[in-house]
Amino acid sequence: MALFVVFQTTFFLTLLSLRTYQSEVLAERLPLTPVSLKVSTNSIHQSLHLQWTVHNLPYHQELKMVFQIQISRIETSNVVWVGNYSTPVKWNQVLHWSWESELPLECATHFVRIKSVIDDASFPEPNFWSNWSSWEEVSVQDSLGRGTLFVFPKDKLVEEGSNVTICYVSRNIQNNVSCYLEGKQIHGEQLDPHVTAFNLNSVPFIRNRGTNIYCEASQGNVSKGIEGIVLFVSKVLEEPKDFSCESQDFKTLHCTWDPGTDTALGWSKQPSQSYTLFESFSGEKKLCTHKNWCNWQITQDSQEMYNFTLIAENYLRKRSVNILFNLTHRVYLMNPFSVNFENVNATNAIMTWKVHSMRNNFTYLCQIELHGEGKMMQYDVSINVNGEYFLSELEPATEYMARVRCADASHFWKWTEWSGQNFTTLEAAPSEAPDVWRSVNSEPGNHTVTLFWKPLSKLHANGKILFYNVVVENLDKPSRSELRSIPAPANSTKLILDRCSYQICVTANNSVGASPASIIVISADPENKEVEEERIAGTEGGFSLSWKPQPGDVIGYVVDWCDHPQDVLQWKNVGPNTTSTVISTDAFRPGVRYDFRIYGLSTKRIACLLEKKTGYSQELAPSDNPHVLVDMLTSHSFTLSWKDYSTESQPGFIQGYHVYLKSKARQCHPRFQKAVLSDGSECCKYKIDNPEEKALIVDNLKPESFYEFFVTPFTSAGEGPNATFTKVTTPDEHSSMLIRILLPMVFCVLLIMIVCYLKSQWIKETCYPDIPDPYKSSILSLIKFKENPHLTIMNVSDCIPDAIEVVSKPEGTKIQLLGTRKSLTETELTKPNYLYLLPTEKNHSGPGPCICFENFTYNQAASDAGSCGHVPVPPKAPPSMLGLMTSPENVLKALEKNYMNSLGEVPAGETSLNYVSQLASPMSGDKDSLPTNPVEPPHCSEYKMQMAVPLRLALPPPTENSSLSSITLLDPGEHYR
């Protein structure tokens, strides 16, 4: 066993030694190690360029060799790339190879070495790798120049989405360096204390002016400078789309494509991509000057097949597309021309056109499109040179547009552009009778018929309608008919017809002829049929109407209504078997009441009103509130009324009214309910469901209370607009009662006053009759008749004088006496002065006991005479009358004296005269001054009318003959007591 182990070990060692020996022998025999390795750098492309040679090639022949290349960064052990490069090698040939570094070369030292092996089947020797060449060091940091911070790569051009490595070299390791891409800080990997690299993955395209990337060196907060680079990111070059070529004349091929995004960059880093056209059969190439088309000249008539390659290229990428085609299959004809129309009439025309000739026996497929009246018709036709097509079934008086395009009929490739022309067909007579309707107003003795018709559609008018003929034929008197021509575009006319049946025919006429007639019959019976109006509810889509069929044969129904606000009669014809329809039109407006009348048309074409319907397409809330009057205001109630409010002219059917009442009382009155207004305030609400009930008595109110009310109508859409409440204050309860009492009283008083005024004479005579004048008494005549002197009136001599009391007012009366010139002011009169006329003789034997006293101051005659100086004293009255005094002379003197004084000195009005009745008892005066012998009451006495007159006027002038029957002149200083 041990022997076996020793043998085995010896065998393997021998084998290993043999293998090692063989390699060494071969290597020595073929020393193919690459030599003269030189490495240079290209900063623009960030690439290392290697060149080397291989010595000692055994034969002077080309051998295929494989070179393995190792690249290290910073230090030799940090191998960053290993790869093989296989190429034929000749003896003493200098080989070149490049390697692009991801990391900018300025940021790190690179090391390169290389070894080789022969990989050629013709070489009989076994192949072994050569030894590595020595490491070749490449460093460009030394050439950076002055500065402390450098950022690389400079102005690098990359494609959008690619990965980029940037780096900075900071010569001062104490600096803190931060780098930013478009303002955002980026973080990298430190390669050595001076160098940091940043891997930017999938860089975006931001702008064609490049992207600023910068690094800032700082120590603490102190900036030591900013350095940066501009990275030019290009859009990815797109493959051209829709590449195609075609010929219009077999001389030139016109190739077009969609170039896609322009990849040009600023700073001339990259121009727009270029396009090159390459044709493989001919081997020709053309650089296109436009970015989306290129013309290729056809030089060989015999070449029919073409294989084109379109190559798009920029600095970063190359794209290509390929098409293979037969030239005859890519014929794009030139547009047809000379499009014309011949033999155009009302319904057909002939269209002609021409095409550009291509080759002999070339067949064209042409397509014709006819546009008119909103319709389009298409026709295909094959032609050789000149095209022609018969257009039929055209509409009269219609403008058409006809156009044509063509293509190669043998190998359809593409239509030409359209070539077209407009034409108009001729007119024809209108093909349909106008739609006619009427409204009839019956008046005594005649009918006013207004005919309406709708203009014919263009389809039926067949031209321009010039006028309408209206033929009115009296059916009761067939011989009489009337023709009226109404020029277009009128759509109505008014006829006044008598009480006969009339047939009216309406035709529309254009320049060619008349349309069929539309016939309508107006019966002799007036249309006074009373039909109850029914309310209907409209919808946004219109009004849905239905009606009971008319008994008997009908040829149809007509529904008419008026549009608002134009107030134009509209109508709709409905077939005889239909008893419902929907009236829908854009003219319906919310809040407008529409009245529909449904007529049945008899076989005699007489319209009979069947039903009336009214409604709103959409009811709205009332637009205004009624004007409410307050009546019968009492302390406990008032009445609200709004009789003038029209329920018909509202934007909805008035369903009733809401009466809102506000009061200080929290409780609502009976019949009222509590409600909350829009402003949040509470009030009482009363609902009136009858729209015609336009009054409300609000009772159970408190006197002297303040109430507010508001009346608003409501429809199905809501109430009327908000408005202010009207204020009412109930009156006081007593004041009304007072008014009830006072008013009749005032009335009565007024009545009495009026009666009194009217009966004043009667009252005067009844209540205070005039004092009779004795002189005027009838008894005088009787006396005169008897001639009895004793019975004369008021003869002084016949009378027993009575005492006269003269009272002079003591209050400051100033009387200057004429004789003495003594002022009365000097004498204060504190007591009234009386002058008494007393009987002087006890045994008086006079004619009678009558005392006659005539007061001149109240003399009627004096008052009548004005300044009359004579008192109508009986002329026979002797002055001895004054002899009743103790001494007539004395009395006279005294009288004269006083009289003179009075006349001369007493101004009128300054002295008052108090009259004491002759009948008056002296007891009525001052008792102390009364005479001891009271005067016997006279048996009779008589007054004359008394009238207060001023003394100046009343007294006669002071003549000696003056005889005053009873005059008392007062002298305060000389009066009797």
The residue length of the chain stands at 977
Out of 47, 199, 228, 614, name the contact with another protein by CB under 8 A: 228
**Cβ-contact 115, 68 below 8 angstroms:** yes
Which tokens sit at 210?
Answer: 């490049």
Looking at the DSSP bridge assignments, the partners of residue 380 are 367
Query: Which of 210-218, 714-722, 872-880, 945-953 is the region at the interface with another protein (rule: CB under 8 A)?
Result: 210-218
Map the footprint of another protein across residues 21-40, applying CB under 8 A. Answer: none
Q: Between 206 and 630, name the residue whose CB sits nearer to another protein.
A: 206
Measured between alpha carbons, how far is 720 from 646 in angstroms, rounded to an integer? 13
Query: Minimum CB separation from another protein for residue 200, in Å?
Result: 16
Kindly provide the residue ranges of all beta strands, DSSP E only, lying in 90-205, ordered along the sequence: 94-100, 110-118, 136-138, 149-152, 157-159, 164-170, 176-181, 184-186, 189-192, 195-200
Q: Between 156 and 694, name the residue whose CB sits nearer to another protein.
A: 156
Out of 88, 126, 204, 225, name the contact with another protein by CB under 8 A: 225
Q: Between 41 and 808, name the residue whose CB sits nearer to another protein.
A: 41
Amino acid in the structure at residue 475: L
**Cβ-contact 818, 908 below 8 angstroms:** no
Which tokens sit at 610?
Answer: 């069947």
Closest CA to 660 of 600, 606, 722, 599: 722
DSSP symbols for 563-632: -TTT--EEEEEE-TT--EEEE--TT--TT-EEEEEEEEEETT-BEEEEEEEEEESS----SS----EEES
Q: Is 315 in the site for another protein (CB under 8 A)?
A: no
Q: Is 44 in the site for another protein (CB under 8 A)?
A: no
Q: Is 204 in the site for another protein (CB under 8 A)?
A: no
Closest CA to 544 of 599, 584, 601: 584
* Peptide bond before residue 153 is cis, with ω within 30 degrees of 0: yes
Query: Minimum CB separation from another protein for residue 315, in Å?
Result: 16
Please identify which residue in the block is written with the tokens 């202010």: 724
Q: Is 157 in the site for another protein (CB under 8 A)?
A: no
Q: In what order do the strands lie in the sheet with 337-342?
A: 337-342, 349-354, 386-391
Which tokens sit at 623?
Answer: 């637009």
Amino acid in the structure at residue 16: L
Q: Is 176 in the site for another protein (CB under 8 A)?
A: no
3-state secondary structure 261-288: CCCCEHHHCECCCEEEEEECCCCEEEEE
Query: Which of 34-42, 136-144, 203-211, 554-562 is the region at the interface with another protein (rule: CB under 8 A)?
Result: 203-211
Residue 852 neighbours by CB distance under 10 Å: 26
Kindly provide the residue ranges of all beta strands, DSSP E only, lying in 18-153, ordered along the sequence: 34-42, 47-54, 63-73, 79-89, 94-100, 110-118, 136-138, 149-152
Q: Between 182 and 682, name the residue whose CB sits nearer to another protein.
A: 182
Q: Is 227 in the site for another protein (CB under 8 A)?
A: yes
Residue 637 neighbours by CB distance under 10 Å: 13
Q: Is 553 in the site for another protein (CB under 8 A)?
A: no
Q: Pattern 239-268, binding to another protein, x per CB under 8 A?
A: ---------------------------xxx
Measured between alpha carbons, how far is 33 from 634 in angstroms, rounded to an integer? 136
**Cβ-contact 430, 508 below 8 angstroms:** yes
The two counts, helices (H) then strands (E), for the chain are: 8, 53
Residues near 297 by beta carbon (within 8 Å), at least 6 away in sequence: 251, 252, 253
Q: Between 183 and 957, name the residue whose CB sits nearer to another protein.
A: 183
Q: Between 154 and 822, name the residue whose CB sits nearer to another protein.
A: 154
The H or E element spanning position 7 is: helix 2-29
Amino acid in the structure at residue 24: E
Q: Between 187 and 529, name the residue whose CB sits nearer to another protein.
A: 187
Q: Is 230 in the site for another protein (CB under 8 A)?
A: yes
Measured between alpha carbons, how far is 557 from 307 in angstroms, rounded to an integer? 76
Rg (CA), the chain: 74
Residues near 206 by beta carbon (within 8 Å), at least 6 away in sequence: 182, 233
**Three-state DSSP state, 361:** coil
Q: Is 144 in the site for another protein (CB under 8 A)?
A: no
Query: Which of 69-77, 149-157, 270-278, 708-716 is the region at the interface with another protein (rule: CB under 8 A)?
Result: 149-157
Q: Between 214 and 547, name the residue whose CB sits nearer to another protein.
A: 214
Q: Is 667 in the site for another protein (CB under 8 A)?
A: no
Query: Minimum CB separation from another protein for residue 212, in Å?
Result: 5
Measured between alpha carbons, how far is 296 from 307 in angstroms, rounded to an integer? 12
Q: Is 534 in the site for another protein (CB under 8 A)?
A: no
Query: Which of 51-59, 218-226, 254-262, 297-305 is the region at the interface with another protein (rule: CB under 8 A)?
Result: 218-226
Query: Minimum CB separation from another protein for residue 193, in Å?
Result: 24
Query: Minimum CB separation from another protein for residue 214, in Å?
Result: 5
Q: Is 154 in the site for another protein (CB under 8 A)?
A: yes
Measured between alpha carbons, how far is 316 from 234 in angstroms, rounded to an integer? 8
Q: Is 220 in the site for another protein (CB under 8 A)?
A: no
- Core vs surface per residue 686-695: b (16+ CB within 10 A) or e: bebeebeebe
Number of residues lying near another protein (CB under 8 A): 22
Q: Is 952 in the site for another protein (CB under 8 A)?
A: no
Q: Between 131 and 223, name the residue whose CB sits nearer to another protein.
A: 223
Q: Between 150 and 657, name the residue whose CB sits nearer to another protein.
A: 150
Q: Between 273 and 663, name the residue whose CB sits nearer to another protein.
A: 273
Q: Between 218 and 450, name the residue whose CB sits nearer to another protein.
A: 218
**Cβ-contact 336, 407 below 8 angstroms:** no
Q: Is 476 in the site for another protein (CB under 8 A)?
A: no
Q: Is 861 in the site for another protein (CB under 8 A)?
A: no
Measured between alpha carbons, how far is 640 from 377 in angstroms, rounded to an integer? 73
Query: Minimum CB separation from another protein for residue 225, in Å?
Result: 7
Q: Between 149 and 331, name the residue whose CB sits nearer to another protein.
A: 149
Out of 106, 159, 216, 611, name the contact with another protein by CB under 8 A: 216
Map the footprint of another protein across residues 177-196, applying CB under 8 A. Answer: 180, 182-183
Query: Minimum CB separation from another protein for residue 205, in Å?
Result: 14
Out of 57, 157, 229, 451, name the contact with another protein by CB under 8 A: 229
Query: Which of 147-155, 235-243, 365-373, 862-870 is the region at the interface with another protein (rule: CB under 8 A)?
Result: 147-155
Query: Minimum CB separation from another protein for residue 68, in Å?
Result: 36
Q: Pattern 266-295, binding to another protein, x per CB under 8 A?
A: xxx---------------------------
Closest CA to 651 of 596, 598, 716, 695: 716
Query: Which of 176-184, 575-583, 806-814, 817-825 is the region at the interface with another protein (rule: CB under 8 A)?
Result: 176-184
Out of 34, 188, 210, 956, name the contact with another protein by CB under 8 A: 210
Q: Between 124 and 183, name the residue whose CB sits nearer to another protein.
A: 183
Out of 155, 342, 380, 525, name the contact with another protein by CB under 8 A: 155
Q: Between 267 and 412, name the residue whose CB sits nearer to another protein.
A: 267
Residue 851 neighbours by CB distance under 10 Å: 27
Query: Minimum CB separation from another protein for residue 176, in Å?
Result: 15
Query: Which of 194-202, 205-213, 410-418, 448-456 is the region at the interface with another protein (rule: CB under 8 A)?
Result: 205-213
Measured between alpha carbons, how far is 261 from 263 in angstroms, rounded to an integer? 6
Query: Minimum CB separation from another protein for residue 194, in Å?
Result: 20
CA 889 to chain centre: 120
Q: Is 360 in the site for another protein (CB under 8 A)?
A: no
The H or E element spanning position 366 is: strand 364-372
Out of 223, 289, 384, 580, name the contact with another protein by CB under 8 A: 223
Give the residues lining the site for another protein (CB under 8 A).
151, 154-155, 180, 182-183, 207, 209-210, 212, 214, 216, 223, 225-230, 266-268
